Amino acid sequence: MTRYIPFVIYLLLIAMYEVIWRDFTVLYLIAINVPAMLVVIVAIYKSELTAAWFGFLAGMVLSAGNPGGMGWQALLLAAIGIAVFHLREKLNLESIYSKVLLIAGAVLLHNLMSILINDLNRILFLTWSYCLPSAVYTSLVAWLFFLFKEKKVTLENIKSVF
């Protein structure tokens, strides 16, 4: 049972981001896509089924405020989890940049699909003004995350600079 605790924490992290941190991190209406980023990270480090179920639940948590889109979001993030897992099997993911690229692609796909579901008329405008910048912004955050996770940057490194 305890092995599920990290995933519950990730889901709580999504809720916390959406409620509290989103307002502080939005830059010119561009937000970090934390659910998609977490689904990709889980898919990179965990099994296919875990990625699929985590994606499904992350989609449900993400769209709790909009129950009409809950099914689409759950299915979309579950599909992204499975797709990333299979890509991970085929790609060399030793490099941080490949992981960041995977996240950028997944976030772009998630943003695009979310817009396709909700607002088909403004797809081109939103792709340019939101989907791409959001993918870049999320990738930047993911890059920092991987730098710390893979110990490329540690607190000791940072302290030694000062």
Residues that bind other proteins (CB under 8 A): 11-12, 14-16, 18-20, 48-49, 52-53, 56, 60-61, 63-65, 67-68, 70-72, 74-75, 78
Taking the complex as a whole, the smallest distance from the CB of residue 145 to other proteins amounts, in Å, to: 21
Nearer to other proteins, 79 or 107 (CB): 79
Q: Which of helix, strand or coil describes residue 153?
A: coil
Q: How many C-beta neighbours within 10 Å does residue 94 have?
A: 8
CB of 3: closest distance to other proteins in angstroms? 12
Cα–Cα–Cα angle for 119, 39, 16, nearest 5°? 80
Q: Minimum distance between the CB of residue 39 and other proteins, rounded to whole angstroms?
A: 14
Q: Which is nearer to other proteins, 20 or 153 (CB)?
A: 20
- Closest CB to other proteins among residues 71, 122: 71
CA distance 98 to 63: 29
Rounded to the nearest 5 degrees, what angle is found at the Cα of 142, between the Cα atoms of 137 and 143?
Answer: 95
Token pair, residue 152, equals 């490329």
Amino acid at 18: E
Residue 158 CB neighbour total at 10 angstroms? 9
Q: How far is the CB of 121 from other proteins (least distance, A)?
A: 22
Closest to other proteins by CB, 72 or 143? 72
